[in-house]
Chains A and B, each alone.
Chain A
Amino acid sequence: MNALILPPTRSTPGVWFEPATGRFELTGNSIPENANEFYQPVIEWLANNLADMKGELVMDFHLSYFNSTSLKAIYQLLKQIKAACTMGSTIRVRWYAEDDDELLIETVAMLSDMLDLPMEILPAEDDKVKAVS
């Protein structure tokens, strides 16, 4: 199973989907003019590869800013991931947020509710510790 690794740019997030290590991450900003163009290949990769995943899949979001077109694409991505739940994998979705990031906290609560998919919000400090270690 091939990994999907895309470096971050100023407007698109870094993507690190590596089934062999179980590392699934989106990092940075997601503010492209056309989010669908960026995310479609990522969602297609998930559609083609998640069915072969077994065990626990942990999806980490370390996104500072995302625009509304990105949010729509992220919703589709999470929907794809949720579909994997029914194929024998268990899913953990984790978002890293600054303490005072009310916008992200509200958005994650909305996504979790709409998708009926539990999501964790962890302090961004944990993220820094993890990144250093």
Chain B
Amino acid sequence: MTKNLVQYAGQLSSEVRIQLLDLLKAVSLANLGERNDLKRLCGIALELLDNAQRYGNSRDVSFEWRIEGQSLVITIKNHAARVDAERLMKTVESINAMSAEQVTAAFRAQLTNEQFGEKGGAGLGILQIAKRTGGQLNAHIEQVSSEEFLCTSRVAAPLR
């Protein structure tokens, strides 16, 4: 039996996102015990689910939460339009090239610019994940039709 494994594949509605968050809170508390970073860990999953819901084309996603050794690994896959898939790659590459201080500065700059995207994004999600993990994010896109891509985002967050 694999402990600390949560997998979901299917439609990602607001209600599913909320119920997944509730489930992850319960699973992390039951399996990792009381600790001061549970919200941080669940918050990373929430940001990934937010992005997948906001930019997903079909609303079908594949989500996995897994503890591997001393890390929480979250993987999410969703279909997205070319423009959103390419922006994801560009954002991740840009953030991966930043130091922790640069991530913090970029986060603060984005927080104060008062701009929201046309799909309601704040431009903060990936920066927030980078702040919370302090590590590398992985993103991969694969073209599935002329204008649609399969986006895979993978985050490893160290357990403190």
Chain A residues at the B interface, C-beta cutoff of 8 Å: 10-11, 29, 31-37, 65, 67-69, 71-73, 75-76, 100-104, 110, 114
Contact = CB atoms under 8 A, between A and B. Distances in A.
A110 B14 CA distance: 28
B14 A103 contact: no
Q: Which 7 A-B pairs have the closest CB atoms?
A: A34-B120, A68-B124, A100-B36, A72-B122, A36-B116, A69-B122, A103-B39
B108 interface: yes
Given A11-B14, A35-B122, A68 B47 contact: yes
A114 B34 CA distance: 31
Contact of B39 (A34, A35, A104): A104
A29 B132 CA distance: 19
Interface in B38-68: 39-40, 42-43, 46-47, 50, 53-54
Nearest to A114: B108
A67 B14 contact: no
Interface of B: 14-15, 17-18, 21, 34-37, 39-40, 42-43, 46-47, 50, 53-54, 108, 110-112, 114, 116, 119-122, 124-125, 127-128, 132
Contact of A37 (B40, B46, B120, B124): B120
Given A69-B50, A71-B111, A36 B120 contact: yes
Given A31-B21, A68-B47, 5 more contacts: A35-B122, A67-B125, A68-B122, A69-B50, A76-B114
Interface SS of chain B: helix
Contact of B54 (A33, A101, A110, A114): A33
Contacts of A110: 108
A114 B111 contact: yes
A35 B47 contact: no
A102 B36 contact: yes
Nearest to B25: A65
A69 B50 CA distance: 9
Contacts of B36: 100-102
Contacts of B42: 65
